[in-house]
């Protein structure tokens, strides 16, 4: 007999999802706007329906049992799908085509998402887009929570890649960038050791860019560069580049936007160290059905994928294996 036939209701699923997220019956009750006795009653009803306990004592608190965790995970997905259905119906009722919510790390945001949105404005002018540019751990968290439709990034360590469907897109080549007027702009080094005479600005130690840079320098027999500032902020890095003599390794896609042409504020150093960051992927929630607007924008973004990625079917994505941070 199905759970619905046994009496499972939406309120039961909401309670299980809230309890799993908050870890406390009282906080789950607050989130749902009900009294704690009512929350406990809902859990008791769930246990009666399943014929199994969904909670167990652990010290001074209460935790979910294996059956409770299983039901809670499904409840979260059901509620996410209902939220998406409500959003899609509301868009239809409003007479609009819809809204796509996109997450991307910096390089594909500039190189893939921005051109796709320019095309979408012409071909589908009634589609609205929201773009979040952030590190992959933030993007994957928002994707898992149903706040983004799809992400171009990497699954970071500590996040289960089984939550997502993924299609690997491409690795990121890296260029060295300096301000206009910098000595290295007009005098590219013949010996890469000359690059070590300058201060470098890099993200934190856990960034795949920093890891790729340090690994490549070590492979070339070069020392770790002098680094008085580390920051994940792209805007702060750009400002520092323009106002000092630092060297910054940036994605080639980013360098193409800010260090190309006579009016560009930055200059790419004409010395290729062969630095490449691990590939990023197109990620969606596993098994999620995209809205029509999100599917349309995804199709336009996919036109910018390398040929290897385009050969895959976006309706049947293989689980991603990338597990590094951006």
pLDDT for res 40: 92
Residues 193-248: tens digit of each pLDDT: 999 999 999 998 888 899 999 999 999 999 999 988 899 888 999 999 999 999 99
Domain architecture of the chain: domains with CATH: 3-81 (1.10.10.10), 89-170+278-310 (3.40.190.10), 172-277 (3.40.190.290)
Residues 267-310: tens digit of each pLDDT: 999 999 999 999 999 999 998 888 888 988 999 998 877 544 44
Residue given tokens 């940036």 in the structure block: 250
Burial class, 216, CB count within 10 angstroms (exposed 0-12 / middle 13-18 / buried 19+): middle
Residues 125-175: tens digit of each pLDDT: 888 899 999 989 999 999 998 999 999 999 988 888 999 999 999 889 999
Cβ neighbors of 253 (< 8 A, separation 6 or more) are: 107, 108, 110, 111, 172
Residues 16-43: tens digit of each pLDDT: 999 999 988 999 999 999 999 999 999 9
pLDDT for res 148: 96
* Structure-model confidence comparison of residues 38 and 325, the more confident one: 38
Residues 174-201: tens digit of each pLDDT: 999 999 999 999 898 989 999 999 999 9
Could you tell me if 301 and 101 are in contact, meaning their C-beta atoms sit under 8 angstroms apart?
A: no
- C-alpha to C-alpha distances, 249 to 279, 289, 315, nearest whole angstrom: 17, 38, 35
pTM of the predicted model as reported, rounded to 2 decimal places: 0.66
| Residue of 126, 131, 68, 123 lying closest to 104 (CA atoms) | 131
CA distance 39 to 147: 26
Cβ neighbors of 86 (< 8 A, separation 6 or more) are: none
Give Cα 184 distance to the centre of its chain.
34
């Amino acid at each position: 007999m199905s759970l619905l036939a046994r009496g499972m209701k939406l309120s039961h699923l909401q309670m299980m999802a809230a309890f799993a997220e908050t870890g406390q019956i009282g906080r789950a009750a607050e989130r749902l706007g009900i009294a704690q006795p009512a929350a406990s009653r809902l859990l008791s009803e769930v246990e009666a329906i399943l014929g199994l306990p969904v909670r167990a004592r652990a010290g001074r608190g209460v935790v979910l049992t294996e059956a409770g965790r299983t039901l809670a995970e499904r409840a979260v997905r059901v509620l996410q799908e209902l939220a998406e259905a409500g959003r899609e119906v509301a868009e239809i009722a409003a007479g609009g085509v819809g809204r796509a919510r996109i997450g991307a790390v910096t390089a594909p945001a500039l190189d893939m998402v921005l051109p796709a949105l320019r095309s979408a404005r012409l071909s589908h002018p009634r589609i609205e887009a929201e773009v979040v540019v952030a590190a992959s751990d933030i993007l994957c968290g928002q994707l898992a929570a149903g706040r983004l439709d799809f992400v171009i990034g990497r699954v970071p360590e500590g996040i289960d890649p089984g939550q997502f469907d993924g299609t690997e897109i491409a690795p990121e080549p890296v260029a060295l960038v300096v301000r206009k007027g910098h000595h290295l702009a007009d005098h590219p080094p013949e010996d890469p050791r000359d690059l070590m005479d300058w201060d470098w600005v890099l993200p934190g130690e856990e960034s795949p860019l920093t890891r790729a840079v340090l690994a490549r320098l070590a492979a070339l027999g070069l020392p770790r560069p002098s680094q008085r500032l580390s920051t994940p902020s792209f805007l702060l890095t750009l400002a520092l580049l323009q106002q000092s003599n630092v060297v910054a390794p940036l994605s080639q896609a980013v360098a193409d936007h800010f260090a190309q042409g006579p009016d560009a504020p930055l200059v790419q150093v004409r010395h290729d160290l062969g630095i490449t960051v691990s590939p990023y992927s197109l990620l969606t929630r596993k098994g999620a059905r995209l809205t029509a607007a999100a599917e349309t924008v995804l199709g336009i973004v996919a036109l910018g994928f390398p040929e290897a990625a385009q050969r895959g079917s976006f309706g049947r994505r293989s689980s991603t294996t990338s597990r590094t941070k951006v």
